[in-house]
A and B are shown apart, each in its own frame.
Chain A
Amino acid sequence: NAGVTQTPKFQVLKTGQSMTLQCAQDMNHNSMYWYRQDPGMGLRLIYYSASEGTTDKGEVPNGYNVSRLNKREFSLRLESAAPSQTSVYFCASSEFKNEQFFGPGTRLTVL
């Protein structure tokens, strides 16, 4: 039982490059989330998926897209990376009104 897994762990991009962050959970949760963490700002929700086939914007969705591929997988795509997207990205999953379980994070640097 791996919980929530994320790939890659680290990534360096040049401005304008694209990439996809992958997330998978094995807890059969309906809801999945993507957050970014920046110093002094806590975690901010980028996108959210309440169930397979649905996605919704969070607080900071600009510059990102998501895909809920199936119940297990929820990917985050940066189409044209910018230095402001340098951050640590966390994926999480939960059942309705229960605690969220977090992955280990992806540390992204955009030069």
Chain B
Amino acid sequence: AQSVTQLGSHVSVSEGALVLLRCNYSSSVPPYLFWYVQYPNQGLQLLLKYTSAATLVKGINGFEAEFKKSETSFHLTKPSAHMSDAAEYFCALLRSNDYKLSFGAGTTVTVRA
């Protein structure tokens, strides 16, 4: 079955430090992968997407993700955390059999001053 797994339900970083959120996927075909962000009491907003073009994908707000087929990973990074990055982040995979999204359980990011 095509799915994603997010490693770590909570991540705490200091302001200015690297943000690294981990996502591994399971798929027998090249996947379409997405990262979404959810700020408190809001809906989900797309950060970036991978659709089998460049393996390094740049998104909004300084985030980027690298698709690594050998590791079946699509980790999200940001070089320097800002207080406004405090939110919940979801990795998602577009299933090739029915074109619906499978979401990870989410990672909550806390930024310490």
Contact = CB atoms under 8 A, between A and B. Distances in A.
Instruction: Answer whether A and B are interacting partners.
Output: yes
Interface of B: 9, 32, 34, 36, 41-46, 49, 90, 94, 99-101, 103-106
Contacts of B44: 43, 90, 92, 100, 102
Given A97-B94, A102-B45, A104-B43, A42 B99 contact: no
B43 A103 contact: yes
Contacts of A48: 100
Given A104-B43, A105-B42, A97 B100 contact: no
B43 A4 contact: yes
Return the 8 tightest CB-CB contacts between A and B, nearest first.
A102-B43, A42-B103, A102-B44, A43-B103, A42-B105, A104-B43, A99-B46, A103-B43
Interface of A: 4, 33, 40-45, 48, 58, 90, 92, 96-97, 99-105
A91 to B, nearest CB: 9
B100 A45 contact: yes
A104 B34 contact: no
B104 A42 contact: yes
A101 B43 CA distance: 9
Given A42-B105, A42-B106, A97-B94, A104 B100 contact: no
Contact of B105 (A41, A58, A97, A105): A41
Nearest to B43: A102
A25 B104 CA distance: 25
A58 to B, nearest CB: 7
B43 A97 contact: no
Contacts of A101: 46
B2 to A, nearest CB: 14
